[in-house]
């Protein structure tokens, strides 16, 4: 009986050791997988189809980021939604959302993180924060938009990018869509047998910024999210004292969230935070 127990214990330790080694080696590929099947040629072709201006945004550490600017028809001063996409997405992933924003007079600006299609470098948490600041500077300096007239929108991984930027630059509004309290919390839920708080290099501790955010906040989450459980959205709304929380039943992580009446609530939030000027 003792011998059998030792065999089980040894097998458990070896499995844990192997799991730790695998995750330590491949964690960045798991956190930043990039979008499948997205080429620069495809991006250029779709940009031409939708009338997007293709951007080259330069970071402070010498990387060049691919991006889009879609210019809305407006009568007053420019309003911009600066969008940060999820870990396996691109600017092609939100065409319908972009069209919705343009129809209501909002410009759309989105960039690809370093290492993603059209962008140089390799992704990391520190690198993505530099990418976010470069995008912000492009919107406010190159495009000349008043900071108070920029809404930052982060989806999934993009929420972990958007929050530290919003705390630093004080935009007119922040939207967090289907995002996490932290990568550490999320990873621990999916890999309960591994000490994730010790293994992770890229931690994205979104919850730690809760007392530092000063702009209006909307948190939205799908009630059936199988990748980032809805409890993350609920907790973010609670600790950040969100101005509005939207939970959509039966919506999974990769489903479109801002459609129908939810899209109307999204637009109302943006309008209330950054009203048009004529």
Half-sphere exposure of 43 (CA within 13 A, CB side): 24
| CATH number for the domain running over 32-273 | 3.40.50.1820
Predicted pLDDT of residue 197: 63
Q: What are phi and psi of 8, to 5 degrees?
A: -65, -45
Q: Mean pLDDT check: name the lowest of 107-111, 226-230, 257-261.
A: 257-261
Burial class (CB in 10 A: 0-12, 13-18, 19+), 209: middle
Contacts of 121 (CB under 8 A, 6+ apart): 63, 114, 115, 127
For the chain, report the end-to-end CA distance as a whole number of angstroms: 82
Q: Domain extents for the chain? A: 32-273
The pLDDT confidence band at residue 13, using thresholds 50, 70 and 90, is: very low
Kind of pairing between the strands at 53-58 and 64-70: antiparallel
Has residue 8 got a pLDDT over 60?
no
Residue-wise DSSP of 12-42? HHHHHHHHHHHHHHHHHHHH----TT--HHH
**If you average pLDDT over residues 38-45, what whole number do you get?**
97
How does pLDDT run across 233-253, given as a tens digit for each residue?
999 999 999 999 999 999 999
Query: Hey, which residues does 245 pair with through a beta bridge?
Result: 219
Q: What are phi and psi of 23, to 5 degrees?
A: -65, -40
Predicted pLDDT of residue 28: 73
The pLDDT confidence band at residue 206, using thresholds 50, 70 and 90, is: very high
Q: Determine what percent of the chain is predicted with pLDDT higher than 90.
A: 80
In the block, tokens 């210019």 appear at: 71
How does pLDDT run across 167-181, given as a tens digit for each residue?
999 999 999 999 999
Q: Mean pLDDT check: name the lowest of 106-115, 181-190, 197-206.
A: 197-206
Name the average pLDDT for the chain: 90
Has residue 99 got a pLDDT over 80?
yes
- Confirm if 254 and 225 have CB atoms less than 8 A apart: no
Predicted pLDDT of residue 194: 67
Q: What is the pTM of this model?
A: 0.90
For the chain, where are the alpha helices, taking DSSP H only?
2-31, 40-50, 95-103, 125-137, 157-169, 183-190, 196-199, 230-239, 260-273
How does pLDDT run across 124-137, given as a tens digit for each residue?
999 999 999 999 99
**If you average pLDDT over residues 145-162, what whole number do you get?**
98
């Amino acid at each position: 009986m003792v011998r059998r127990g030792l065999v089980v214990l040894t097998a458990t330790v070896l499995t844990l050791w192997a799991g730790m080694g695998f995750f330590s080696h491949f964690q960045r590929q798991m956190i930043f997988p990039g979008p499948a099947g997205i080429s620069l040629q495809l991006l250029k072709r779709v940009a031409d189809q939708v009338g997007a201006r293709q951007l080259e945004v330069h970071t402070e550490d010498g990387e060049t980021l691919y991006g889009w600017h879609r210019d809305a028809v407006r009568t007053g001063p420019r309003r911009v939604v600066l969008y940060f996409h999820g870990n396996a997405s691109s600017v092609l992933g939100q065409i319908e959302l972009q069209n919705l924003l343009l129809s209501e007079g909002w410009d759309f600006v989105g960039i690809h993180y370093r290492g993603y299609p059209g962008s140089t470098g390799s992704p990391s948490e520190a690198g993505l924060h530099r990418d976010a600041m470069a995008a912000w500077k492009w919107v406010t300096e190159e495009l000349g938009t008043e900071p108070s007239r920029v809404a930052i929108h982060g989806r999934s991984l993009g929420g972990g990018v958007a929050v530290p930027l919003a705390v630093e630059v004080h935009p007119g509004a922040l939207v967090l869509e289907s995002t996490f309290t932290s990568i550490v919390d999320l990873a621990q839920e999916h890999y309960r047998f591994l000490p994730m708080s010790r293994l992770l290099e890229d931690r994205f501790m979104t919850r730690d910024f809760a007392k530092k955010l000063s702009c209006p906040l909307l948190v939205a989450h799908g009630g059936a999210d199988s990748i980032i459980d809805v409890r993350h959205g609920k907790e973010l709304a609670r600790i950040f004292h969100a101005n509005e929380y939207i939970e959509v039943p039966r919506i999974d992580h990769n489903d479109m969230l801002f459609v129908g009446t939810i899209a109307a609530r999204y637009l109302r939030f943006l309008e209330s935070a950054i009203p048009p000027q004529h």
